[in-house]
Homo-oligomer: A and B are copies of this chain.
Amino acid sequence: MRVERWDVFELSFQGPREGNPFVEQWLCGQFHNRNETVQVQGFYDGEGVYRLRFMPSFEGSYTYQTSGSFPQAESAGSFLVTPAGAGNHGPVRVANGHHFAYEDGTPYYPVGSTCYAWVHQADALRQRTLETLSKGYFNKLRFCVFPKHYIHNLKDPVSFPYEGTPVDASGLTEEDVAYSLEFPGNRWDFTRFQPEHFRRLDRAILQLRDLGIEADLIAMHPYDRWGFSAMDRAADDLYWNYLIARFSAYRNLWWSLANEYDLMQAKTLEDWEHYAALLCEKDPVRHLRSVHNCVEFYDYSRPWVTHCSMQRQDLYRHVEYTDAYRVRYGKPVVWDEIAYEGNLDMGWGNISGQELTRRFWEASLRGGYAGHGETYLDPENDLLWWSHGGELRGESPARLRFLHRILCQTPGLGLRRGEGSFDEVVGVPDAPLYRDGYEIHYYGFGRPSFRTFQKEAGARYRAEVIDTWNMTVEDAGVHAGRFRIPLPGREYMAIRLVREA
């Protein structure tokens, strides 16, 4: 048997169907090669099938032994791990303190989007979402395991995570959306998963992987009419263990404990710390872990948090605090929600493509990262990218792809914010990043007609004018000493200076 490095090595077993296999049976395995020995939990996938998934982190020969609560679980064997193929760089890790790289060392600059409930839509719509994603606008996608109940999200999902029957959704209106801890009309067995719901997630994660997109999986969220946000500790633990066993072997997985954790009134800080401890203990790949706020930031300095997953706390200044949060938390700063391009009635969903793109550039050039969402009203089908996926209509995605292209040109691994150059006192919205003779000065909503630079004696710099909206990079000559770069007096311009060898 052969498997590519960082791919999934999967073993399946026939086992008992009677009783409740989800709680009455267990399966585990140990995988060994010269560089690692890894314990992995298996899971029940319905219809008498048990699975064990493992992601090898090294090339070469592996051996394994499995065991479990039923006789067929006992097995042993070996397999060969071949070099990673094209496009396979391994899981994303934190790099240089505030940045990311794949495990093979390739820098990873997240430019994410959000389609919370795309997995819960019918297959045709899912396929259209994947076609949109194949255009390369984004390399991270946030989405939920549990279905979503919220404005523009009143229909039942195509599958539910548990056996049982949901509350009747007919007759629901947008006015019925409210946060509550009451869930009348539902009948669920929180000890019996519906494997098909999770198979859809399997397929989604793998489809994203094949598009080069990280799956930022949101395990919990408050937009609920079924009670999945208020299960008891035993049900929660069963759920988390199932997620870990089922999904950890996917190299493109990120764990988002929750979206807007602080709206989940049934959960306490102790709960979040408990789930995080389960992940730290049981996820053999040690995928990235965070939790996303609505109002109050989580304490991102907690050791289990690998990166900040932030929602803006202020309408007017947010990504512009990236520098401060880097210092405060000492981790990568990812702004997963900074308002969406769209035209909703709500302020979180109606900014322009220009403004969203500006926020991405501000975040990026201050050494952080940002996330996209799109919320254009669709009177005909009520399908919004932010929840359902489908097609994009906005102006920002192409610009975000352009930003990603620029970020990928950064020499070295990760970006470093220039100290002392960011001059807010005299009111210059000039957010430079530099790294060893490589600088980008971004002027945001400012419209300078020129900018003057003073560089060190003996150095020559190639200058380029970047139009972040029109997506052009124009040569502006080679300069030394004190020099002036003309600009067109429009918003959203940047100047790149690269020291010549």
Contacts and interface: CB of A to CB of B under 8 A. Distances in A.
Contact of A347 (B339, B344, B428): B428
Contacts of A430: 347
Interface in A344-390: 344-348, 350-352, 355, 377
A491 interface: yes
A344 B314 contact: no
B426 A348 contact: yes
A175 to B, nearest CB: 9
A427 B346 contact: yes
Interface string A412-454: 0000000000001111111000000000000101111111100
A350 B315 contact: no
A295 interface: yes
Contacts of A351: 445-447
A343 interface: yes
A489 interface: yes
A345 B426 contact: no
A320 interface: yes
A34 interface: no
- Output the residue of A339, A426, A427, A489 with the most chain B CB within 10 A: A427
Contact of A320 (B315, B425, B491): B315
Contacts of A450: 345
A317 interface: yes
A428 B312 CA distance: 13
Contacts of A426: 346-348
B489 A446 contact: no
B489 A449 contact: no
A443 B447 CA distance: 23
Contacts of A443: 347, 350
A448 B491 contact: no
A355 B316 CA distance: 13
Given A317-B316, A350-B447, A350-B448, A295 B425 contact: yes
Interface of A: 295, 312, 314-317, 320, 339, 342-348, 350-352, 355, 377, 424-430, 443, 445-452, 489, 491
